[in-house]
Amino acid sequence: MLWRRECPENWTPYASRYDRITTDFTAQICHRSSVFVLYVPPKSEDSVRANVRAEVDGEVMARELHKLTNLQITKTTKPGLLSDGGGLYLRISGAETVSRRWVFLFRRPSDGKRCEIGLGGLNAVPLAKARKKASGLRTQVADGIDPLAIKQAERRIPTFGELADDLIRQLEPTWRNDKHKAQWTMTMREYAKPLRSKPVDAIETSDVLNVLQPIWQTKPETAARVRGRIEKVLDSAKVKGFRRGENPAAWRGHLALVLPKRPALSRGHHQRMPIDDVPEFMAKLREREGIACRCLEFAILTAARSGEALGALWAEIDLDAKVWTLPPHRMKPGREHRVPLSARSIEILKEMAQLRDGDFVFPGMRRGKSLSNMALEMVLRRMRIDDATVHGFRSCFRDWTGNRTLYPRELAEHALSHTIGDKAEQAYRRDTAVERRRPLMEAWANFCRSHDAGVIVFPVLRSSQPSA
């Protein structure tokens, strides 16, 4: 098209599709033969040029839009993106089960970064509706508006702390005791404190590293647990639609490439007291007063885990039958465990019965609560025992049965509530009655009270063994 400031002589005005452009201006389209001229006064020239250019661009855009047909979008199964033009795509994914979802791709007006907005699945959003949504988003981008920011603003993004606390509440019913909740809560509030106030969609790899690096070498086991829990929180955020992309706390192929190798963990090898030192230690322990001391002594005599002894309930104790029955939900293996009680264990229980104040055998300072997890460790510290742990006394019991007695290994494993490997051993475990373990536990209690540490204990042979 030619531009003129005046209509040439002997040229004829011509009505064209540009008539609507010229209505607001003193301008006219003229023609002669096949040549067209737009006459534009000087003051209106720039404005009309812009409008005509917009018309041309719109025409080009129109040719780029609406590329897809309903047949294409329903029949195509090859994974990938199908373009409808103007930033609207149909994402096809899956192999056996094909998923089709609409996405709108655009460049963020503020920095030109490529962004994506999901518009819904094909079943819920047909082609016409997807085009209508995309048209509105294109308008926002053209006006310098970030549609993704608007979408995020409409849906408040929770902080890491809020989502972590919510995940703890969700997982709590699956944990066997309060110890797991306490550990999760502590790590998420103390070690992950720098993350708590951040929106979950704003957490990056650098944020996770700032939490892990100070404890990665000094507290390797704790650091591993913190990382795993942060990863779970961020995974839950992605499932709930609050995050996109890779998890910044992921280990394989991510943090494993930037964090140094951690020192070897000491799991499975709790420090234990030498077997010959146990009787002397138990004598000193009996001389000390306090609920925590009695709980520790009871745990050692019954070969129980610390959490099992700390959480012991009067409802689990049968003083007449001299049996402590722990329900499955309180046991690590997840099955009921019955413990025959020695004479000294019964003495401890009768002593605690005189102080009974609630359901717990060994109550804590707060009414209705048991002793804390640290109570037994503190007893060892006050007794200046720094080369042994509470859990280590279970190892003492196992070594004593193996080296100082002739009781079967399977009987000792059952006393420790260990899972026995093969089917034959499991059958033995099922058939091992409480009364068959009673002499073993009484012999262990006698060993803990004696000074004849090196004596070999022989099982008592009976003509008939009473059943459980």
How far apart CA 220 and CA 181 sit, in angstroms, is 21
pLDDT over 70 (residue 281): yes
The C-alpha angle 63, 65, 68, rounded to 5 degrees, equals 115
Q: Residue 434: what pLDDT?
A: 82
pLDDT over 50 (residue 185): yes
Task: Render pLDDT for 56-84 as a digit per residue (tens, 0 to 9).
Answer: 344 444 457 889 999 989 888 888 899 99
Q: Would you list the DSSP string of 169-228?
A: HHHGGGSSSHHHHHHHHHIIIIITHHHHTSBGGG--HHHHHHHHTTTTTTSHHHHHHHHH
Residue 38, phi then psi, degrees to nearest 5:
-100, 115
Q: Would you list the DSSP string of 7-37?
A: PPTT-EE---TTHHHHTTTT-EEEEETTEEE
For 70-154, which CATH class?
alpha beta
- Picking from 4-8, 354-358, 458-462, which range would have the lowest pLDDT averaged per residue? 4-8
Highest mean pLDDT among 186-195, 388-397, 459-468: 186-195
The C-alpha angle 229, 232, 235, rounded to 5 degrees, equals 155
Percent of the chain with pLDDT over 90: 41
Task: Render pLDDT for 402-443 as a digit per residue (tens, 0 to 9).
Answer: 888 888 888 888 888 887 655 555 545 544 578 888 999 999
Task: Render pLDDT for 130-161 as a digit per residue (tens, 0 to 9).
Answer: 999 999 999 999 888 888 888 766 667 899 99
Considering the chain, what is the average pLDDT of its residues?
A: 80
Q: Which helix (H) or strand (E) holds 326?
A: strand 323-326
Task: Render pLDDT for 293-344 as a digit per residue (tens, 0 to 9).
Answer: 999 999 999 999 888 999 999 999 999 999 999 888 888 777 888 999 999 9
CATH fold of 160-257 reads DNA polymerase; domain 1 (1.10.150)
Q: Residue 88 in 3-state DSSP?
A: strand
pLDDT over 60 (residue 16): no
Mean pLDDT value of segment 345-357: 91
How far apart CA 294 and CA 217 sit, in angstroms, is 37
- 214, 208 in Cβ contact below 8 A? no
Q: Residue 343: what pLDDT?
A: 93
Per-residue burial over 288-309, b = 16 or more CB atoms within 10 Å of its CB, e = otherwise: eeebbbbbbbbbbbbbbbbbbb
| Crossing angle between the packed helical segments 434-449 and 343-353, to the nearest 10 degrees | 80
Percent of the chain with pLDDT over 70: 76
What the block records as the tokens of 417 is 């509530």
- 186, 173 in Cβ contact below 8 A? no
Q: Residue 455: what pLDDT?
A: 53
pLDDT over 90 (residue 210): yes
Can you give the residue ranges of every domain in the chain?
2-64, 70-154, 160-257, 275-449
DSSP state of 313: B
How far apart CA 245 and CA 205 sit, in angstroms, is 12
Calculated CA dihedral for residues 276, 280, 282, 286, nearest 10 degrees: 170
- 54, 40 in Cβ contact below 8 A? no
Q: Residue 54 in 3-state DSSP?
A: helix
What is 275-449's CATH number, 1.10.443.10, 3.40.50.620, 1.10.12.10, 3.20.20.80? 1.10.443.10
pLDDT over 50 (residue 17): no
